[in-house]
Amino acid sequence: MAVKIEHARQDNPQLRAGAARQPDSVDQSNRKVPINLRQSGPTPVEMLISTRVRKSPYWHLAYEAGCWRATVYNRMYHPRGYVRPEQGGAMLEYESLVNDVTLWNVAVERQIQVKGPDAERFVNYVITRDATKIKPMRGKYVILCNEEGGILNDPVLLRVAEDEFWFSLSDSDLELWLRGVNVGMGFNVSIAEIDVSPLQIQGPKSEALMADLFGEAVRDIPYYGLMAGRLAGHDVIVSQTGFTGEKGYEIYLPESTTYAEDIWYAVLDAGEAHNLRVIAPAHHRRIAAGILSWGQDLDAETLPFQCNLAYQVPRNKDADYIGKQRLEEVRAQLEAGHSPFTHTLVGLRFGGGAVTDYANDFWLISGPDGGKPQGYVTSPWYSPELETNIALAYVPLALQAVGTRLTVHLPVEYAAMDGSTDVEAEVVDVPFRPSVNPNARERARAKGIDFAD
C-alpha cells in the first residue's frame, strides 16, 4: 500500500503537495459524523452538468449573464461566480453590492408549501419559534431541529395566508422530513414543493430599483414583511429579506418554470438606471453580518446554543415542538455551568494574505503559540471595510472570549508577507460591524430587546 501511495504522489502534484493529508488532531468524538477537516486544497475538477441535478428556471439566464462556475445546493445547480478572477472576481462583484444594486439567482431556495386547516399547528410543531405570532403576509427567520436539538434547516418562513406557509429552504432537504413527521402526527395539511423561485435584489440602491418595479408602496414593507405585487404581467410576492444583513428584497415568482425570463429581463431592464450587476451570493457580506450558512457554519449535529442562535429557542413558547425537551435540558445545563458541547462559534479577525475567494477547506486553529489544532474556520473572507480577513470559526469553550489570541493555519496561497502560513488571529464580536442599513434584529439588540419571542 505504501508503494502505491508513493507512486500516486509522483503522478499527482496535489498528492505530492500533501493534499491527501487527513488531520486527526481536533477532537470530534462528540459527533456521530465528524466535520471533514481534510486539508486537500482546491483539487480542481470540472463540474458535470447532468440530469441528476436540477437546473433552476433561471439557470440559463445566469449563464447568459456570465456565470462561469457553480456549486450544488439543495440538489440544484447554483451560480457562484460571474466576474472572472483575472477581471476582479468576487471582490469586484462585492463592490457592486456595497455601492449600487445586485441581482442574485437564488432559486435553490426551494419553496416547501404547508397548506390547510392545521397549517399553523403543524408549523408550530416543527419550528422552535412561535408560529402563532407570525401574521399573514409576514415572515420570520426560523430553525427546525431534530429530537436531539440539532439544526436540520434554517429557512426563511413566509406566511402568505392564514392557512398557508412557505419554507424558503437553506441547503438541506426538508420536504421529506416534514412529510415523515406528519405521517405520525396526522395534521390536516398538504406538504409539497411548489413552482416558486426567488430572486434577490441587494445593495444600497435596491429600494429605488424596487420602487421602479413595484411603486412607492414597496418602500413601506417592514423587515421580514411581505407584499403582493405584479411584475411583467405576473403575480409575485415581495419580501424585505436577504443574505446580506442590509436592506434588500426577494421576489418570489409562482409558475417560475414558465415565466422566469419575463421577470429576469424586467429586473435587468429597470436595473440599468441603477448600475445593476448580476452577481453570486456575497459571502463576504453575510459573514460580516454574522449570517450563517447551513453546511458550513451549522448542521444537523449543531445545537442552537453553539452557533449564536440561542434567541431562536424561546422560553415562553408553551406549545410542544420537535427538539423542545432536549433544548430545554441543554439550556438548563448551560445555566448550571455545564456545557454538553465542546466547541462554540466565534468571530475571528486574522492575518495573512487577503482571502478573496471561497475557502476549499475548514482551516485549522491552534492556540496563540501554535501547537496542536483545537478548532477550525468555517467561513473566511476579506472585509474591505475592516481591511482585514474575518471568519466564523469553532473553537473550544475555553478560547471563546473576545480578545483571545489564536493561530490560524492557512493554505500557502494566503501566506503572510513573510511566507508564514501560521498567522495571528483574535476572537471578536459578531456581527463584525454595524450594517449600513441596520436590520430589525440589530436595532432591537441596540435597545436591549430580546428577539427570542
Q: Each residue of 250-304: pLDDT tens digit?
A: 999 999 999 999 999 999 999 999 999 999 999 999 999 999 999 999 999 999 9
Verify cis geometry, omega within 30 degrees of 0, for the bond prior to 314: no
Measured CA to CA, the distance from residue 56 to residue 225 in angstroms comes to 25
Centre a 10 Å sphere on the Cβ of residue 320 and count the other Cβ atoms it contains: 9
Position 209 in a domain: yes
pLDDT tens profile 32-51: 999 999 888 888 889 999 99
* Amino acid 43: pLDDT: 84
Residues of the chain with pLDDT under 70: 1-24, 435-453
* Amino acid 433: pLDDT: 84
For 5, half-sphere exposure in the C-beta direction (CA atoms, 13 angstrom radius) is 7
E strand residue ranges, 255-312: 276-278
Going from the C-alpha of 33 to that of each of 29, 264, 299, the distances in angstroms are: 9, 40, 10
Both 326 and 408 in one domain: the answer is yes
Position 316 in a domain: yes
Q: At 64, phi and psi to the nearest 5?
A: -60, -30
Both 261 and 233 in one domain: the answer is yes
Both 232 and 306 in one domain: the answer is no
Position 305 in a domain: yes
Q: At 349, phi and psi to the nearest 5?
A: -105, 140
Which range of residues forms the domain containing residue 217? 196-274
**pTM score, two decimals?**
0.93
* Amino acid 15: pLDDT: 46
Listed residues 232, 247, 274: the one ending a domain: 274
| 128, 146 contact by CB (below 8 A) | no
Position 399 in a domain: yes
| 341, 149 contact by CB (below 8 A) | no
Both 305 and 372 in one domain: the answer is yes
The letter for the amino acid at 374 is Q
Q: At 12, phi and psi to the nearest 5?
A: -125, 110
Both 316 and 363 in one domain: the answer is yes
Please count the structural domains in the chain. Answer: 2
Measured CA to CA, the distance from residue 375 to residue 395 in angstroms comes to 5
Both 256 and 371 in one domain: the answer is no
Closest of 145, 144, 146, 148 to residue 157, by C-alpha: 144
Going from the C-alpha of 330 to that of each of 65, 177, 324, 333, 337, the distances in angstroms are: 47, 24, 10, 5, 11
- Residue with grid cell 432537504, as numbered in its chain: 173
The letter for the amino acid at 13 is P
| 197, 413 contact by CB (below 8 A) | no
Listed residues 274, 307, 323: the one ending a domain: 274
| 345, 396 contact by CB (below 8 A) | no
| 322, 126 contact by CB (below 8 A) | yes
